[in-house]
């Protein structure tokens, strides 16, 4: 079975991908979303989850927030080392959300406006703050403020995931996630 297995830091990432992946993936590819209880839980269980996964056709995508880690590359290398320890490094892809998952949403304020049934948010996309949201210190705080606390992590992620533009390039980390998913899908289909 051709399968993409997502190993996720938190349930909100699962909620977003549940609504985004059906629009992105070929029908021949199944996907499984495995959320953990934060980055420590993800890193603690990652090797065992990948190593014990029985489907030899499965490919793994690890998604974690950068949060306050000062260096993306060091964090990514740590996760790649864990994938290597599983014995299936060639079947793994690591992606980081810089700084948080909410960065993806701030890069597509039209999706936020549509998903949360609000008006007047999308026109803020061209302000300096929201043109390059990967640079923001606390995207989740920015999103709560922007939506006047209407954004809730899991329900908001599920709703916004249905509306995100797949070709949105304002968040390099979102663009890299979508590109990585497409590349892994392509490998499974060939």
Domain co-membership, 82 together with 149: no
Q: Distance between terminal CA atoms of the chain?
A: 13
- Neighbouring C-alpha atoms within 13 Å toward the C-beta of 37: 1
Provide the angle, in degrees to the nearest 10, between the axes of the packed helices 153-161 and 109-116.
Answer: 110
Domain interval for residue 137? 102-161
Number of domains forming the structure of the chain = 2
CATH of the domain at 47: 3.40.50
Largest Cα–Cα distance in the chain? 49
Tens place of pLDDT per residue across the chain (190 aa): 999 999 999 999 999 999 999 999 999 999 999 999 999 999 999 999 999 999 999 999 999 999 887 788 999 999 999 999 999 999 999 999 989 999 999 999 999 999 999 999 999 999 999 999 998 989 999 999 999 999 999 999 999 999 999 999 999 999 999 999 999 999 999 8
Helix, strand or coil, per DSSP, at residue 94:
strand
Task: Please give the pLDDT value at position 176.
Answer: 96
């Amino acid at each position: 079975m051709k399968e993409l297995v997502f190993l996720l830091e938190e349930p909100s990432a699962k909620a977003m991908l549940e609504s985004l992946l059906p629009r992105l993936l070929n029908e021949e590819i199944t996907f499984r979303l495995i959320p953990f209880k934060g980055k420590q839980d993800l890193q603690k269980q990652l090797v065992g989850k990948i190593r014990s996964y029985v489907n030899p056709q499965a490919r793994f995508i690890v998604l974690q927030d950068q949060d306050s880690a000062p260096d993306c590359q060091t964090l990514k290398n740590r996760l790649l080392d864990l994938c290597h320890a599983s014995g299936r490094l060639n079947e793994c892809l690591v992606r980081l959300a810089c700084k948080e998952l909410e960065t993806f949403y701030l890069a597509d304020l039209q999706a936020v406006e549509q998903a949360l049934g609000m008006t007047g948010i999308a026109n803020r996309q061209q302000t300096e703050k929201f043109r390059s949201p990967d640079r923001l210190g606390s995207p989740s705080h920015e999103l709560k403020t922007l939506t006047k606390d209407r954004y809730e992590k899991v329900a908001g992620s599920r709703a916004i995931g249905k509306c995100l533009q797949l070709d949105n390039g304002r968040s390099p980390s979102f663009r890299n996630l979508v590109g990585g998913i497409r590349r892994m899908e392509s490998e499974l289909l060939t």
